[in-house]
Structure 1
Amino acid sequence: PPGWTAMTSAEHRPAAFFDVDNTLTRGTALFRFLEYWYAARGRPPHDAVRERQRLKAMTAAGVSREETNRAYFRLLAGAPAAEIARYAEDWFQAELTQGAFFHEPVLRALHAHRREGHPVVLVSGSFPAVLLPLLEHCAADHLLCTEPEITPFARTYTGRLADRPHQPMIGDAKAGAVRELAAAHRIDLTASTAYGDHVSDAPLLSLTGRAVIVGDDPDLRRLAAHHGWHRLPKAPDPLAVPLPEPNPSPPGALL
């Protein structure tokens, strides 16, 4: 019918897709949460530092971000899901109280998209426990992220990732997951905007009609120059993680 095309395009609306670490936030939430969780359980500060350095060394040795992401989630093996969720809530509130957690230019862009009525989607290699408080705070609509496996009855982390497509949520997996979400929710990708800070976000940024790089990643800057992508400044260095008093008993345990 003559009106079919116009009607279809009107039904498909633009959305905004945001990488999280060093894009929407200052610093890497995975490591900031790890530092908080270890401190809460009474582990010495150098434990979290050592794990971060080990993962950084893997990256420096040429190990892919996908593999270092999997290595991070092995650190959660055996942890009760309820404990991680509770500590993640506490950590996020501590970050908010301290201030300076969000990268303000990107947060302003997110609010502008929301005012325009665009669905806001967070796309991150981090995991639900850490991202859900942030999603709620920003009133984002959808979350695409890495999903660690949790045992069905004991509800503990296994240290592996869930056996699902697009895991971990890094690189091409982000683009694949966004394509599926767009198809399911009638999102027009050519009218949408994506934000990212690292060259691994390039597949996501290439998917939308408008892309915004955040910061100075040299590979992304070359792509931005070639494609005419926009740019926002690099996120300032984050403040030190606000650490809790140690509480070696899990949250909710009888003292």
Structure 2
Amino acid sequence: MRQTARRRSAAFFDVDGTLTNVTSMFRFLEYRLAAEGHPPSVYRDERQRLSAMTAAGVPRTETNRAYFASYAGAGVQAVDRLAEDWFQAELRSGGFFNEHVTAALHEHRRRGDLIAMVSGSFRACLAPIARHLDVAVVLCSEPEVEGGRYTGRLDTPLIGTAKAEALHELTALRALDLDASASYGDHVSDLPMLRLTGRAVVVGDDPVMREHAGRNGWAVWPHTPTNLLRT
């Protein structure tokens, strides 16, 4: 009689506001613009533009697309190098990671779970974080590239239902058991991912997320106290 192969459990981690105490996409954008010689006002204007979209009720998928517009024309390799420099600077400053969540990540690895970062950010920004935490699987937004340069366009932001779809694809590819798996997130856009796994953890103090946690029996963990929350 053929024996059915045992399916592997996994742990899925949102990044900004979950694994990290800061919004790394914006911290890196500020660093990149300064490194490229732009005055601080360029970052402030860009941040205000995106914040105004959020305040006007524009869906997060659209603000995510709008974020990548500022990368139009930037060389992929140059951005990768800047991202590594940025991350090393963040490590030197301290307080970048949520200690509760990174401790959970290491415990999941010790148990043999597959570890995956699942983020609306992009690979350049996430790769140094993944290397530091020894995370092999990164599911993220993939901005368009032509001739080694970003076009400023993004087809599918990995936000909301796109995160759930990515988990389903990975589950089929890696023979995962979602009921035996865990997921971690801090924002309502993480809910489709959190609902898929047998265990879910809400990070932070978002009242809507805490309401969902109470209704579904999910754990709620705090952000690590830090003086670096200049997102």
User: Same fold judged by TM-score > 0.5?
Assistant: yes
What is the CA-CA distance between 1:234 and the residue it aligns to? 2.7
Q: Give the secondary-structure state (helix, strand or coil) at the position aligned to 2:46.
A: helix
CA distance in 1, matches of 2:206, 2:92: 30
- Counterparts of 1:79 and 1:240, CA distance in 2: 27
Which residue, out of 152, 159, 165, partners 1:159? 152
* Percent identical residues: 56
Question: Structure 1's 238 and 119: CA in aligned 2 closer, same or farther, altered over 3 A?
Answer: farther
The 5 A counterparts of 1:222-233 are 222-233=211-222
Distance 1:58 1:208 in 2: 31
Distance 1:155 1:29, change over 3 A: same
Matched, 1:170 2:159: yes
- Which residue is 1:207 aligned to? 196
1:245 corresponds to which residue?
Answer: none
Whole-Å separation in 2 of the counterparts to 1:56 and 1:83 = 27
Aligned amino acid, residue 84 of structure 1:
V
Which blocks of at least 5 consecutive residues in structure 2 are unaligned?
none
1:141 CA displacement: 2.3
The residue correspondences of 1:23-172 to structure 2 (distance < 5 A) are: 23-151=18-146, 154-162=147-155, 167-172=156-161
SS in 2 for 1:22: coil
Deviation at 1:179, TM superposition (A): 0.7
1:14 equivalenced with 2:3 (yes/no): no
**Superposed displacement of residue 239, structure 1:** 1.8
CA gap 1:240/1:63 in 2 versus in 1, 3 angstroms: closer
Structure 1 residue aligned with 2:209: 220
Q: Residues 211 and 170 from structure 1, CA distance in 2 versus in 1: closer, same or farther, beyond 3 angstroms?
A: same
What is the alpha-carbon distance in structure 2 between the residues aligned to residue 49 and residue 122 of structure 1? 28
**Partners of 2:21 and 2:223 within 8 A in 1:** no
Question: What is the deviation of 1:133?
Answer: 0.8
Conserved in 1, the CA contact under 8 Å of 2:161 and 2:193? yes
Q: Helix, strand or coil: the match of 1:101?
A: coil
Q: Which amino acid aligns with 1:59?
A: T
Deviations 1:165-186 (A, max 9, x none): xx20000000000111011001
TM-score normalised over the length of structure 1? 0.87
Contact 1:27–1:238 under 8 Å retained in 2: no
Q: Which 4+ stretches in 1 moved above 6 angstroms?
A: none
Q: Could you list the per-position Cα deviations for residues 153-199 of structure 1 after superposition, in whole angstroms to 9, with x for gaps in the alignment?
A: x301001125xxxx200000000001110110011000000000001
Give the aligned residue type for 1:198: H
In 2, Cα distance between equivalents of 1:24 and 1:240: 14
| Consecutive unaligned residues in structure 1, runs of 5 or more | 242-255
**Structure 1 residue 236 displacement after superposition:** 3.5
Structure 2-normalised TM-score?
0.96
